[in-house]
Structure 1
Amino acid sequence: MMADPARLRCMPKKARSYLGRLASASEQLFRGEGIEQFAAICYRKAGDNAVEVLLVTSRDSGRWIIPKGWPIGKLAPHQVAEREAWEEAGVKGKAKKRPFGFYTYIKTRADGERVPSVVQVHLLKAGKIEEKFPEEKQRNSLWLPPLEAAVLVREPELKGLLRRVAKTVVKPPKA
Structure 2
Amino acid sequence: MTRTLRGLWDSYLSPMLQRPKRLQVAALCHRGTGDGREVLLITSRDTGRWIIPKGWPIRGLSSPEAAMQEAWEEAGVSEGSAQEKSIGTYTYDKRMRSGLPVPVETLVYSVEVEEMEKDFPEARERRLKWFSQSDAANLVQERELQTLLRDF
Q: Which stretches of structure 1, 4 residues or more, deviate above 6 A after TM superposition?
A: none
TM-score norm. by structure 1 comes to: 0.75
Tell me the alpha carbon deviations over residues 13-53 of structure 1, each in whole angstroms, 9 at most, x when there is no partner: xxxxxxxxxxxxx948x95522100000000006x642000
Aligned residue in 1 for 2:97:
110
Q: Can you give the 5+ residue segments of structure 2 that lack an aligned partner in the other structure? A: 1-13
Deviations 1:53-73 (A, max 9, x none): 000000010000000000110
SS in 2 for 1:136: coil
Return the index of the structure with the highest Cα Rg: 2
Letter in 2 for 1:68: K
CA RMSD across the alignment: 1.7
1:1-175 counterparts in 2 under 5 A? 27=15, 33-45=20-32, 49-91=35-77, 92-165=79-152
Normalized per residue, the structure richer in strand is 2
Residues 1:116 and 1:127: Cα distance change in structure 2 (over 3 Å): same
Letter in 2 for 1:103: Y
TM-score using structure 2 length: 0.86
- How far, CA to CA, are the matches of 1:38 and 1:125 in structure 2? 16
Q: Percent identity?
A: 45
Q: Structure 1 residues 27 and 143 mapped into 2: Cα distance closer, same or farther (>3 Å)? A: farther
